[in-house]
Amino acid sequence: MIYRPVKGYGGWLGLFAGIILFGFILWGINYALDDSDRILKLLLLVPTYIFLFVYAYLLLGAFNLGYKIEKDALEILWGLQKKRIPWDEFDEIMEIKGRANLFPFLAASWRGYMFGLYSAKGLGSVRMYATHTEEGFLYLKTKKGFFGITPAEPAFLSAIINKTGKTLQTIDMDKMPPEEKGESIHEDRFFSLYYKLNVLFLLIFAVYLGIFFPGSGAPKFIILLLVLAVSLFIFNVGNAKRLYQFSSQGAYITLLIGLAVTGVFIILSLSGISL
């Protein structure tokens, strides 16, 4: 029987965001650069298409995510992949309650979707195949690795306990000692502030170009500055989240660098359009 994860719209959200994001980036590169900039154009388009392919593969996983209980094993279904875990290779089954501190290593996530390798403070490493983890998830320790899943139906938990013969352990993240749980990136006001400032600067940049660039006679290259600012923002946010578990100050600096670069791009655009 196949059990689906907690209902979310991560796949549709990712599809909508991907169409806008990659559509804008590809349009911006082609609009800003002509045949005289062929080498630069190629250097930007090649990695963009590579990331688009990777993103499409991750997005497929968001639409095809499930947990299949078979006679002799649990199968985690993700995209075109199947991760098979025999029942006799289960070591522990834990129900994590509350929001865990999950920091990405090789991972991708957005609202309603979480996939890849994470470090969970107070728990250990975990490979997530999940949707919403704000209220917790199931943490499966097996000889095949450690997995985090979010099945929607309570019957799933009863079934795997029955199949494995293991006792369910419960860990409440809200009751975990702070020194074990670590700093929470979701409760960090400075991280949230710098993140929101980055978003605000990007919105100001985009709105300014949308209003004043058309008909200004300014060089098309200015559009490429917005493309680079958006790309840098995505890159910096991902790195800041990875860095946070080692150094919150390092994460702040990473976001501030992105903020500064976007600010410089805005100033350059102001100069280009006014001239």
Crossing angle of the two packed helices 38-63 and 10-32, in degrees rounded to 10: 170
- pLDDT higher than 70, residue 46: yes
**CB 68, CB 153: distance < 8 Å:** no
pTM score: 0.87
Residues of the chain above pLDDT 90, percent? 73
pLDDT category of residue 245 using cuts at 50, 70 and 90 = confident
Domain spans of the chain, in order of start: 2-62, 84-181, 185-270
Tens-place pLDDT, residues 75-110 = 999 999 999 999 999 999 999 999 888 989 889 999
The residue that leads in pLDDT, 213 or 7, is 7
pLDDT of residue 36: 82
Phi, psi (deg, nearest 5) at residue 149: -135, 160
pLDDT of residue 246: 87
pLDDT of residue 126: 95
Choose the weakest-confidence range: 40-44, 91-95, 269-273. 269-273
Residues contacting residue 35 through CB under 8 Å, at least 6 positions apart: none
- pLDDT higher than 70, residue 274: no
Dihedral angle sign, alpha carbons of residues 43, 46, 52, 55: negative
**CB 94, CB 171: distance < 8 Å:** yes
Tens-place pLDDT, residues 175-206 = 888 878 878 888 899 999 999 999 999 999 99
